[in-house]
Amino acid sequence: MLETLGMQDVLGDGLITAEALRFAGLNEHAVAALVQRGELRRLRRGWYTLGSKWQAMGPDGKYRLFVRATAAAAERQLVLSHHSAAVLHGLPLIGKWPTTVHALLPDARGGSSHRLLTSHRAVADPNSTFISGVAVTSLSRTLIDMAAGCSLLTGVTMIDHALNRENTGAAGEYTTGAPPITKASLLTELELVNPRTGRHAAERAIAFANGLSANAGESLSRVRFEELGFQIPELQVRFDVAGRTFYVDFFWRDVRKIGEFDGHIKYTRAAVMNEKDVVEVVVAEKDRESLLRPGVGSFDRWGWNLALNSTDFYRFLLEKGVPRAVPAHRGTR
C-alpha cells in the first residue's frame, strides 16, 4: 500500500514522519492498521519506517534509525554523545545498544535519564560534527566518553576499530578533514574532557588498544587474554610459506602457537567472499591452515560463543597451552 502511494523515506535512511503519512492520505486508523500488519514500524511518536526496511536491518541499523528519529523530534538541537554518537560514527559494540538516546547537556544539573533520552552533564565538545544531519560529538570525544563510562571491552573494541581504520586508510566519510586518531591524540582529548569518573578506565583502554586488531572478535579475544591472565600475543604476524604470504590473527612466539578468531562474518561479508561461494572460502581457509601448521607448534581457532563465555574460554586456553602472563595477572577467573 505504501508503495502504491509513492511513500518514500522523507529524511533519508528510512525515516518517515507522521505528517508525511497524513499528506499521503493516511489517517490514524490507517496508520495503525499498517503498523499492525507490519508494513510500517513505529520508532517513536510521530516517526516511522517501512516494515520491510526495519526487518532487513541489524541491531546497529535499528539503533541508528531510532537515534536519528529521536534527534529530529527533539525540541532543541541535541549534540548526541556516548552510544548514540558511537553508532553514527560506525563504531562496533559487543552487546546490546541502549534503549535511550544519549546527548550532552553541559548546562544540566547533573546527568539525567528520561524514557527516551539520557543526558550527560559534561564539558561541551568544541569539535562536534554532523553525521546524516545530526550533531554528534567528534570521534575522539566519543571514544573517550565510551572508554571512561563503559567496560574495558567496549572501550578497547571501539578504539581498536578507530585505530585500525586509520592504519588501513579506511577512516571514511565520518572522519574526513578530522585529525587522525592516535593514542597520543586520545590522551590529549582525555585531558581536555577531564571526566569526573572513569579516567583510569579510559587510560587503560587507550594503552591496551591496538590498531592491528582487525575486527571486534579479535578485540574481544585480546581483552579476554588480559582479563584471564594469559600472555598478550603478537598481532597480524606475517608468514611466507610455499611462495605465498599469510597473516595470522595471533602468534605466541615463545611457544610457536597461532591463534585465529573464526567469526562467521568472514564467510558472509562480500569484501571477504570476493565473488566466491562459501565452499570455496572454507576450502581456501583449510589450505591456508595446512600450509601454516608444519611451521608452528600448534594452530587453534575459536569463535564468538566461546570467547564471550569467560569460563569456557579460560578452560579452552588452558587446554590449548596458551602461555600464562608473567607475573600472573589477577583477572577474572
Domain limits, the chain: 16-56, 59-208, 216-319
Query: So what's the pLDDT on residue 107?
Result: 65
What secondary structure letter does DSSP report for 233? P
C-alpha cell at 47: 516517526
Residues 6+ apart with CB under 8 A from 307: 217, 220, 221, 224, 261, 313
Quote the distance between the C-alpha of residue 68 and its chain's center.
17
pLDDT at residue number 280: 72
d(CA 165, CA 181): 9
Strands (E), the chain: 16-17, 40-44, 47-50, 79-80, 101-104, 112-113, 117-120, 129-131, 134-136, 234-241, 244-252, 257-261, 298-302
Would the CA dihedral through 98, 309, 151, 94 be positive or negative?
A: negative
pLDDT mean for each 10 residues of the chain (333 residues): 54 80 92 94 93 94 95 90 98 96 76 74 92 95 98 98 89 66 98 95 98 97 98 97 95 97 60 55 83 95 97 98 79 48
pLDDT at 105: 84
Which pLDDT score is estimated for 167?
Answer: 87
Q: What does the pLDDT read at residue 103?
A: 95
Residue 317's pLDDT is 98
216-319 has which CATH code?
3.40.960.10
Find residue 252's DSSP bridge partners: 257
What is the identity of the amino acid at 100? Answer: T
Nearest to 147 by CA among 103, 211, 81, 212: 81
Quick one: three-class SS letters along 163-211?
A: HHHHHHCCCCHHHCCCCCCCHHHHHHHHHHHCCCCCHHHHHHHHHHCCC
Asked if residues 32 and 41 have their Cβ atoms less than 8 Å apart, the reply is no
pLDDT score at 204: 98
- The cell numbers describing 322, all together, are 596458551
| pLDDT at residue 95 in the model | 96
pTM: 0.88
